[in-house]
Amino acid sequence: MKKMLSALALVAAVLMFPVSSQAQDAPALSDKQLELIKTNVLANLHHSSLEVRASTMQLLIDMKKIYPQYDLNYAVIPMMETLKSDPKPEFRILAALALYHLNSELGRFAVERRAKFDENDRVARQCASLVRNWDDPSKAPDLVVEVKKAL
């Protein structure tokens, strides 16, 4: 029941966002909406469902694009944990991409470390690419990471 409520809360949060990707078209979020989003994001980043976690990371990327003025740094530490210790390389790449878009110094440090020390070549290569392009917004990647559900 709790898993279902978390998933529904995430869907509700996603539906609150406009379809337009331009920040000037997006209506401002209230303090209550921001608090609900924060609560759900933090809960969903630790969720057991792969789909919920992946959707939440994508939500963070989309929020930063649509609402660059809002502080989303509360998600940096959980994203760093995912980047460092998730067993799925796809999730580590998605976490690195989310950290890139959140653009925090702490997140940058974590992505740099994964570029040097991740045991998966693909993760290390993607992290290195993000680090190289970190300060050049014109090269911001719009990657889509496909997460496959374990059978």
| Percentage of the chain exceeding pLDDT 90 | 72
The domain locations on the chain are 2-16+29-139
CB 63 within 8 Å of CB 70: yes
Where residue 103 falls (left for φ over 0; alpha for ψ -120 to 50; beta otherwise) is: left
Question: Structurally, what CATH architecture does the domain formed by 2-16+29-139 represent?
Answer: Alpha Horseshoe (1.25)
Least confident piece of the model among 36-45, 46-55, 139-148: 139-148
